[in-house]
Amino acid sequence: MNMCARHSRRLCVLLALEVLGACAVAPTDDDRVSAGTSSTSRPSEGLAGTPVESARSDGGVVTLAFAGDVHFQLHLAALLEHPGGALGPVTRVLEKADLTMLNLESAITTRGTLEAKELEVSGQRFYFRTSPAALDVLDRAGVDVVTMANNHGADYGPVGLADTLRAIRSGPVPVIGIGRNRREAFAPYVATVRGTRIAFLAGDASMREGSSNVWAAGPRTPGIAAAHADEPKALLRAVRAAAVRADVVVVYMHSGDDLWRCPNDRQRSIARALAAAGADVVVGSHAHLLQGSGWLGDTYVSYGLGNFVWYHNEEPVTGVLQLRARDGRVVEDGLAPARIGFWGLPRPLAGADRTAAVADWRRLRSCTDLAGRPPV
């Protein structure tokens, strides 16, 4: 998140005060209850699931849902006090899919110091953090997988990162894109739904804001799953490995230019590289607004999902991307549009507003390299 100009002066002042302290809300101990339609593989060593061991199988129809950037800053911190139903009516949309994924753009800590962001423009440096209760809110809203591969997941330095990793290990929802080392940060989370194996991976391709190693997990050091190159080697290796063992490989990227509707060259290059490596779905966020979606050959790409739960002085349109996959291929897409209210929560649109929002979203494809339907 950059550029104070995109917020009202009041929000900028509040944010400046917010980074001096943190919300201290204790997490609940609510465990996910299986609905009986899917099984998940959890890691034996690591925070994300490991690839399944058996060969690929012919699966049935699976529905996947994706939303954009989430944080719990300023007034949104109040949501942490009552995790059940905290996200309101949009919860019904998130719960509808077999598996739902979004981006948590925040460190999970009440400690630490602001991590130096000397590579970012002075005056455009934002710092986000939340308590472990954020994972309870997302879990109880129907979210099945969370990525933290972004430019705010390590905002509070090594101490905040250590707290984040502890919160993930004891949290109720799987988190990927961050880890105790590079292997762990790029490890997939794998779930099986009606015989279809889905592997979820994540990478941060946004501009690196600081030189500290917390922004890029190393062989023996903790950090974010950094994927800044046009062909990010570590992420591509992880995708190739997952593609051998899973029916559907999903990659959630954090990339794009702030407030640009069209994908930049790096987004396009990375999407092509991921598709060639075996990704079936590539989705992203970071531009703070919706970008185009469609098919890149057999791979479904959504360049930008925008903000989802986010403080605002406007009321931008967002939504939940809904995909239907059959036998390992995405065959249908759609958007359940919503509008982010002044208090930061997305409210589903209906009637003529919904129809217009979906039409606008479809038109965003015009400045991409994507097709409107899968190849025959």
**Domain around 296:** 4-367
Q: What is the largest CA-CA distance in the chain?
A: 56
Contact 337, 313 (CB under 8 A): no
Residue 126, both tokens? 């934002």
Does the pLDDT of residue 333 top 50, yes or no? yes
Q: 373 in a domain, yes or no? A: no
Q: 235 in a domain, yes or no? A: yes
Instruction: Check residue 216 and give its pLDDT.
Output: 96
Q: 374 in a domain, yes or no? A: no
Distance CA 193, CA 98 (A): 7
Q: 96 in a domain, yes or no? A: yes
| pTM (two decimals) | 0.85
Instruction: Check residue 125 and give its pLDDT.
Output: 79
At 21, the pLDDT band (50, 70, 90 cuts) reads very low
Instruction: Compute the radius of gyration of the chain from its Cα atoms.
Output: 19
Give the lowest-confidence range in 37-46, 103-112, 125-134, 298-307.
Answer: 37-46
57-75 residue pLDDT tens: 344 899 999 999 999 999 9
More confident residue, 121 or 10: 121
Q: 265 in a domain, yes or no? A: yes
Number of domains comprising the chain: 1
Contact 103, 150 (CB under 8 A): yes
Q: 375 in a domain, yes or no? A: no
**CATH number of the domain encompassing residue 210:** 3.60.21.10
Q: Which of 127, 89, 185, 166 is nearest to 1 (CA)?
A: 127
Q: 174 in a domain, yes or no? A: yes
Q: Which residue carries 């002075």 as its tokens? A: 122
Instruction: Check residue 258 and give its pLDDT.
Output: 83
Average pLDDT score, the chain? 85
At 119, the pLDDT band (50, 70, 90 cuts) reads low
Q: 329 in a domain, yes or no? A: yes
Give the lowest-confidence range in 16-20, 201-205, 225-229, 252-256.
Answer: 16-20
243-256 residue pLDDT tens: 999 999 999 999 99
